[in-house]
A and B are shown apart, each in its own frame.
Chain A
């Protein structure tokens, strides 16, 4: 399998992961009044008490990190494909790849730190 085929397959696989985890996330955060899952009745999903309650769960922490990685790869690889289709010069193609890779790793590190630190903080409360 060639490199781009592999990356495209990962892009599709990441899409499937996002579909499940982001679907759950959207259900919790934006269909709270319709579905009413994982939030105390009569409260908003971003209320600190709800954030802490979800933050205590190891399953939530793992799902945040999985979603973060899958969504960053899916989104940034998708963006790369759109930019590459514009047929930039060879050096620019390489630069786009490097910038997106470094940016993606940086944001993954920040988000993973936040998920783990948030979990530790919630557990300690």
Chain B
């Protein structure tokens, strides 16, 4: 049984939102990331696919792992990398975001990775400059590379995310990680649950294609993966929970609470972790359960794949379906 074949070119030159991707885009990213993941693990030198390209990491908000991850991804593939981070000269001199964007763009970088505290900042940067922009986190809005690396990690364990039950716990209100994950996991047909006190959940979150829980034991029932989120105190004005110890007692993840989850339930955390608050240290360190280090590892591979695909340098830039259903 054959049908007309088709070819599909990766269509994105920026990555601003997980919601811009379709399932085929995601599988192209994962296919490429898989190669990088295995090669990175074996410490194999990579082909310099980004040779001659300049990647500017523009981090208006503090970051350790995301900045390092983007920098490593770009350098592994031979790009020239320039980092600007919070506190560096131009950023702290009160220049407007538009002027910073235009000035940097005038130097003709090939990709700009932008992290900023304002929702919509990466898209604004892209609009002002017309350049290729990767959203490295815009306020409480989106963090698409994090969602991709989370889903990639799960895919490595499960093969397919479809039909799996995943619970995101804690400060969802302020979390860009949660927003990007919700849209990506929904795209991949997972069953998404959110759990936290009403003060940490967005109003009307039940319209986001998720099931909302306030009781952790109910939320964890039958889960295949759980993702604990940090309390984003820097984004809160005034207290949203009574105390860390109350949060730990009601919503803190530990081994005992996972008894109701699936026996193979994976434990994720995008970091930075507050041990003893949203996650018990022993659980975070349990190699049988926690895939937190693997998330960090996957981050480099995913970002390598994204940088290649948006610059048109990936070997799988074009997906060809020859009509036999095997793909190519």
Does B bind A?
no
Chain B residues in the interface with A (C-beta under 8 A): none
A→B interface (CB under 8 Å): none
